[in-house]
A and B are shown apart, each in its own frame.
Chain A
């Protein structure tokens, strides 16, 4: 005897074929799938969402109540009942419809005990629906897993490194790495997490020379398409391990704003995000005063991050992503400035604005790994050591948890 599963599938397939037979007229129309079917027990209705917009001809066929066949089968006993459709309401989006059923006991619309099938008899172009076809992935929320991140900003794990080797010198390492994650707090009150970043700039060993670690808090404060997202670091530390050793502890608050929402076509898209905020804290040690540092620190920070993504139809690269990250810090208090040395060549304390520019052109080899042409220039805290304009090629990994 054939397996029951095969037989049931066979019956369903034959039934679909059968209802499709008289509708050869509609064969030219695009086939529409029923994305989901839900029975509303209390209301005595069945709601269907479609996989694509219905054409006028399809809407006309769907609007006729007599054209629908709704059957409910009690799964325990096999008892079957036809549920006549009284009216059909098509949603203005042309993507959903409500079948209003003739009065029926609620139990016949209980999909936990009954299997409901909906068939549009007058069209071969509308797939038949059986109750809860999407239940295989409850809620549509996949289990937490690690996937490729589209941008550096979105990555939970980011690593970009390069080794420069020349004759008669030690190889020099440049590393940028980040690890971050956060978790939802109760009652939609934001996300709490952590972030750690390490940097090594053209060093002869792979030891990081700048480390930043912080607790993070993130919350949407204006959800409109050009809205605002608050990013706060209740406590953050900036450390420079190599001379001049510098330690600054900060509290930061920034607001992120989508200045230009995504525009473009499927092949080329662009967007721009800006953010601004304040960083307040204390510098405990620096090259000038190793014991007390420069004291109170207040910075106003402004960032602009435009980027474009191109998807070439052919060629070795899956995607080409270009992004710029211009980061400006305006200081209210004096901080160490190796770029303005005194007569003895030691760094001084100044309040001049510190800019930093990162430009990346990512040549996507696959979803996770890309070759990156990088340009870096400017000053970054806590040491504000000048990064000379350089263009380099490095290997970049971007991944994130979903």
Chain B
């Protein structure tokens, strides 16, 4: 048995040229390796590390294995770049709410008692958007009682177009 092993060592077999592996494939391979810092068994994941920065690096590496197209509540692809920046959208909503204060989680139903006031607020927001050289439809700016101030910022950011 010992002789056979020695012979095998002396006569190395022809190997195929190493294939170029993508970073994702390489990272996947690292996780499967049994001797690396990240070990993936059938129902267990083990990460070995010495420092917190090392652990952070391993976790980031693991995160990169998973594509955003996979269904998850963690991250989703964003909309195409808007005509407005987020800061501009925020400024428009702050100005539309004035003299009332912008509180991200406050509902418009708490800010305004009457539907007429909400309609006027919506019109001010639309005017703010057009004042920045962008366009937005009335109905693209939510102004219901349950709409929060930050909902309006996000809606303006998402729906404004050139």
Contact = CB atoms under 8 A, between A and B. Distances in A.
A132 B75 CA distance: 7
Given A188-B138, A402-B144, A78 B23 contact: yes
B73 to A, nearest CB: 8
B53 to A, nearest CB: 9
A43 B86 CA distance: 12
A49 B74 contact: no
A176 interface: no
B13 interface: no
A147 B115 contact: no
A140 B137 contact: no
Contacts of B139: 141, 184
B120 A80 contact: no
A365 interface: no
Contacts of B127: 223
A322 B144 CA distance: 21
Classify the secondary structure of A's interface with B. Answer: mixed
B60 A15 contact: yes
Interface in A9-53: 9-12, 14-15, 18-19, 21, 35-36, 38-43, 47-52
Nearest to A15: B59
Nearest to B78: A132
Given A11-B59, A111-B77, A96 B87 contact: yes
B67 interface: yes
**Which of B72, B77, B111 is the most central at the interface, judged by chain A CB atoms within 10 Å of its CB?**
B77
A266 interface: yes
A184 B78 contact: no
A206 interface: no
Contacts of B79: 132, 135, 138-139
B45 A2 contact: yes
B111 A191 contact: no
Interface in B19-72: 22-24, 27, 40, 42-43, 45, 52, 55-56, 59-60, 62-72
B113 interface: yes
A169 interface: no
Interface string A254-272: 0010100110001001110
B134 interface: no
Contacts of A75: 67-69, 77
B85 interface: yes
A47 B85 contact: yes
A244 to B, nearest CB: 36
A41 B90 CA distance: 19
How many interface residues does chain B have, given as a range? 35 or more
Contacts of A191: 138
Given A1-B43, A21-B52, A147-B144, A49 B123 contact: no
Interface residues of A, number: 83
Contact of B78 (A112, A141, A261): A112
A103 interface: no
A79 B145 CA distance: 44
Contact of A50 (B104, B126, B154): B104
A52 B117 contact: no
Contact of B24 (A71, A77, A139, A270): A77
A131 interface: yes
Given A8-B63, A91-B87, A153 B115 contact: yes
A38 B86 contact: yes
A131 B75 contact: yes
A109 B139 CA distance: 30
A150 B145 contact: yes
Given A96-B86, A225-B99, A15 B56 contact: yes
B44 to A, nearest CB: 9
A1 B40 contact: yes
Interface of A: 1-2, 4-5, 7-12, 14-15, 18-19, 21, 35-36, 38-43, 47-52, 71, 73, 75-80, 91, 93, 95-96, 98, 111-112, 115, 130-136, 138-142, 147, 150-151, 153-154, 184, 188, 191, 220, 223-225, 227, 229, 256, 258, 261-262, 266, 269-271, 273, 307, 309, 402
20 contacts: A1-B42, A7-B62, A35-B154, A47-B87, A49-B86, A52-B105, A75-B69, A77-B22, A93-B90, A93-B94, A98-B87, A131-B75, A139-B154, A150-B113, A154-B114, A184-B138, A256-B116, A258-B114, A258-B117, A262-B113
Closest 4 CB pairs of A and B: A132-B78, A223-B123, A78-B24, A140-B155
